[in-house]
Each structure stands twice: as structure tokens, then as C-alpha cells.
Structure 1
């Protein structure tokens, strides 16, 4: 029927009318409508239309699982060591003291000349200075400018003078900002507007009080440490910590807790490293304290334990244990010597043919010699 109707239409002389069909679309549960002709286009010169990054759902009747777009892995910013905000030491602004004193003297001279010009200097002072008496024209604007300017220069010049000493340094700051350090000696001029803080940079030693600690076995100890140190960076010593000497004491206490807890105080049974090896313990303490105190501008040369003792509450018990260990060690060494002496004596007697002994006689001889030698060593 459809073919006959189509031919009949053509026979009537008119062009066949093609019905207008809507474009086929692919549509599912979670995506937008996509025209079919866009999926099969092969136009390389045109840019494809961007699609929304939505979840592609499962199409009905196909058994396909829903797919989600891959998200890029979050980038983690590299983390480094904490930035030290404390300033490092640098040279501060300072000038020659004698030159500043000379400038101040010249300014005072100019101030006196301005007063003489104004005629306000007493005649008696002029006579003593052997200067001509000048009546002047009182203090006018010009005279005031000369006197005020010269006085300000003199005050600024003499106010900044200071005496630099060997082993001392000034840390300069202006409104809380570090401006430099001055290690010069002798007469020095420093801007009087800067705040000065004197710090000792000489080599010093610090002997601690008995500090508590524990060894590897958890036994309480009391340790006295001698630390040789000095301030290397004055800026860090002033601005990085509140009190650099107190900071050093805390570093020593922390280093004692770390180093001494790795070894026993005494090895009662057998050998092995102990805290009695003062040189090794001192080297470990020095490395640890030097590393901890470096951010505060402190240079540590050596840290040696001068005394390592047991705490009073365990001293008596540990002393008895030490004496027992020494006595046992002495007995072992004495018994070894006696056995060696008996063996050597019996061997010589039998080797040279002085005696002929059977097993019973040999055992009896060994017993008698052992008692004799042990008694002889015990009487000494």
C-alpha cells in the first residue's frame, strides 16, 4: 500500500513530499540529550562541543555499570624545615669616636660664638677667655639659629660616644628592629637614637649543679657537667630566645636525658660500654648540646661530665651490689689462678716422671694442692 501510494503521488506530477522528522537522540537517566549526528562526525576542522562533567549513568537494558569521571590527584605542597625568623648578626653602624668628639667640640665652639655674637656672654667670662667684649644685638633669629644648630650637633655628637671593650659587643635596635652589632673597641660613636644592649662574647665555662638523670636500666643518677661555650651570633642570642644562658641550661638537661639513658651506669655482669667511659659520653653530650644550642647563637666547645653518681635513695643499694660484683669477680679470677697453678704442678710432676699416679691418687693430689693454693692466696 505504501509503495502504490508513493508512485501515485509521483504520477500526478508533483514532487514527493518528505515528512520532517526530528533528529534522533540518545537519552538516558543521567546525561543530557546528545544529537546522534554529533557522535559520528569526522570533521577535524571543527572543535567538538564541550560536554558537562556529569556522571554517565547505566543505560537501561545493557547491563553497563555507571562510570564517574576521574578527578586529578590533589597536589601537596612540599614541606621543608621551619624558617628561622630570627636575624643573623651583621655589622652595625658605628663611626670613629675621636672624630665625633672633634665634631662635638667644634659645635660647642660655634654655640659659644653665637652667644658672643648675641652679646649675652658675661664680661667676666670674656676677660677670662681673653676675648674682646662685644655688645651684640641681643638674640635675634639668626643668633637663635646658630646657637640651636650648634647645640643640637654637640648634643648628638657627645651623646653617641661610647667605650668599646674587649670581649663585649653592642646589639643595636631601632623601634624593635635589629640594626646590627658593634664589636669595635676603644672610643666609638653610635647613633644615640639606637637602643644599645651589651652582651658578653668571651669564652666562658659553666659548671652545673647536680642534675637528675637515669641510665639505661632506669636507675636514678645525679650528674655534674662542665660546659665550655661562648656567644657566637649576638643577634640570635638576644632576639631568638629570652635568656640565652637559661636556654643553654635547658639544652644541657635535655641532652643528659637523651645520652645517659642509652647506657648503664655500671656493668655488674660481663663487660660492655658504660657511663664510666667519660670521654665517649662527653663527645656524645657535646654533639647533642652543640646542635640544640646553635639556633640561639651559642657555640659549644665541650661538655664533659665531671661526676656521675647514684641518687641518694639508691646509692646504698647500688654500692652493695657493686661490692658484691667486685667480690665475685675477684673470686673468679682467684679460682682461675689456683686451677692454673694446680694443673701446671700436676703436669710437671707427671711429665718429668717424679711420681706415678693412678686416678684416685691424682684426684687426691689435685684436691690437696687446690686447698693449699687457695688458702695461700686467701692469706695475702
Structure 2
């Protein structure tokens, strides 16, 4: 089912036609009263029927609104232009909002790419662009959008890991929100095209590990963070020790053999890397 424009004329022109038909009906009725000629009565009845048909053809379209018209079960067309219109009479009208709609999905419990149970929810922003599809191709387009959005969210959540601390994946749910949002939008657009809906944006608004593994995952994240920090400290300490030994040797301040170099490296590394303050020991030489 595709959207097509329905024949219409300005409603105020329709009121003028209504008044003209009413005047003819009144004139015919008066002539029947004065002359008794049933031809005038027939004209009056015909005008009254036309009057009723015209009255049933008036409709008002609000801004950002569309009305879908059917006649005796047949789809006629759509009026989307705001205003007061006269169209085909005896039609049934279905109003569809063309305004932008957003909704927050429920928190879903799904498994990410690594099989970890996570909680995820999204906000979806959409609008109807084909009112005929929204009315005729699905039972209720709002329910359809909600259901398919949850299905699409589950699908996308299962395609990526929650986190990517090990750098085994290019995209993760937590660290690449923009990329995930783009993929979610594309996926939902394919699913909702049937209902004549355009997805403007779909973005994750809630993301967390499930309660049963949240504590363990927090400990894992903390451990990885500590290891990463310690690596930075050790790399810096090695660079500082190397710089100190090279400077001492270059300026000839002290003669160091391999054993003394090893001892100095050990002392400096312990002093720099240790989380606790080091206690200095001053060597004053041998006392006899």
C-alpha cells in the first residue's frame, strides 16, 4: 500500500456550493408550495441529498497531521496539507500524526558477544512518513515500532562485547556509543520501513552488567586498570634509571662496574616503583 494524494478543494469554496444548493432547495420547496408541481418537490429532495453529501465531505487537517480516506472498504488516498477541505463524501477517515515521536524502551536483559548478561535500554526517535503504510500494512504502527525496536536492540547488543579492555574487538557497546547508535538506527530502519516509519535516531540510554555478575566484572575492570597503571609506572621507572646511569657515566661522577650498576638499578627501581615511601640509607664508609 502506497501513499497517494486525494482529490480536494478548498473548504470555503465548498461552503459557497453548500449555500447555493441550499438556496435552490429552498426555492424548489417554495415553488412546490405555491404551484403543487411535484417536479419542484423532486428538485428539492435532490438538492437536500446533495446538501447532505456535501456536509459529509468537509474535513479539517491540523498541522503535522494526515488523514487516510476509505470509501466502502476501498482505499482512496491521503490528505496531508493542513487546512479546511472538501473532498469525496461518505468516506471513513483515519487520523495519523506526522509529528516526531520518541519513546524509551524497557530495560532488557541480553547476552553480549562474549556471553556476559547485560542490561540495556534505548531511546528511539521516529516519525511516520507514509501514512497509508502505517494504517494498512500493520495492525498498530506504534505497537509495531515498540516491538521491533526491542527486537533490534537485542540483535545489536548480541553483536558487540560490553567492553573492550583486551583490544580484541574494534567496537564495544560502552566505548563506541556513536558507532553502535548508527548501527542500531540502520537496523531499526530496515525493520520499520514496512510501517512507513522513518527512524531519526536510536541511541543506548542505559547499559550495565546484570546484577549477578556486576561485582565480579567491576573487580575485573579494577584489576585491569591497576595493571595498566603499573605498566606505565614501570616503563617510566626504567626510563628514569637508564637516564640516571647514562648521565653518571657520561659526566664521570662515579665509576660503576656491572655489580654496582645492578645494585643501583635495583635500588632505584624499588624506590620509584614502590607505593610506600622509601627510607634512605646513607653510607658513610667503614669505621675502624
| TM-score for the superposition, normalised by structure 2 | 0.87
Aligned to 2:222: 323
Provide closer, same or farther for how the CA distance between residues 156 and 314 of structure 1 changes in structure 2, counting only shifts above 3 A.
same
Q: Which residue among 229, 234, 242 is the counterpart of 2:126?
A: 229
Q: 1:168 aligns with which of 51, 65, 76?
A: 65
User: CA separation in 1, counterparts of 2:254 and 2:158?
Assistant: 60
Give the Å deviation of 1:279: 1.1
Once the 2 structures are TM-superposed, how far is the Cα of residue 257 of structure 1 from its aligned partner? 2.4
Is 1:347 the counterpart of 2:246? The answer is: yes
Unaligned stretches of 5+ residues in structure 1:
1-86, 120-135
Q: Radius of gyration: which is bigger?
A: 1
Where 1:221 maps in the other structure, the secondary structure is strand
Larger % of helix: which?
Answer: 2
| Corresponding residue number in structure 1 for 2:4 | 90
The aligned runs of 1:246-265 (5 Å cut-off) are: 246-265=143-162
The structure with the greater share of residues assigned to strand is: 2
Residue in structure 2 matched with residue 109 of structure 1 by the alignment:
23
Secondary structure, aligned partner of 1:262: coil
Q: CA RMSD in A?
A: 2.0
CA distance in 2, matches of 1:370, 1:228: 56
What count of residue pairs does the alignment treat as equivalent?
275
Bigger shift: residues 309-318 or 359-368 = 309-318
CA contact (8 A) 1:104 1:155 kept: no
5+ residue gaps, structure 2, are: 278-288
CA positional deviation for 1:316: 2.2
Out of 209, 213, 231, the residue aligned to residue 332 of structure 1 is: 231
Counterparts of residues 284-299 of structure 1 (less than 5 Å): 284-299=183-198
Relative to structure 2, which stretch is displaced further, 309-318 or 194-203? 309-318
**Paired residue for 1:100?**
14
Of structures 1 and 2, the one with the larger relative CO (CA 8 A, separation 6+) is 2
Q: 1:312 & 1:189 partners in 2: Cα distance?
A: 60
| Contact 1:213–1:256 under 8 Å retained in 2 | no
Alignment match, 1:16: none
The Cα of 1:378 is off from its aligned counterpart by 5.8
Q: Answer yes or no: is 1:306 the counterpart of 2:220.
A: no
Partners of 2:115 and 2:12 lie apart in 1 by 64
Distance 2:60 2:100 in 1: 21
Tell me by how many angstroms 1:289 deviates.
Answer: 1.1
Task: Give the 3-state SS of the residue equivalent to 1:360 in structure 2.
Answer: helix
Counterpart Cα distance in 2 of 1:93 and 1:166: 19
**After alignment, is 267-276 or 179-188 more displaced?**
267-276
> In structure 2, what is the Cα distance between the partners aligned to 1:271 and 1:360?
42
Q: In structure 1, what is the Cα distance between the partners aligned to 2:233 and 2:158?
A: 34
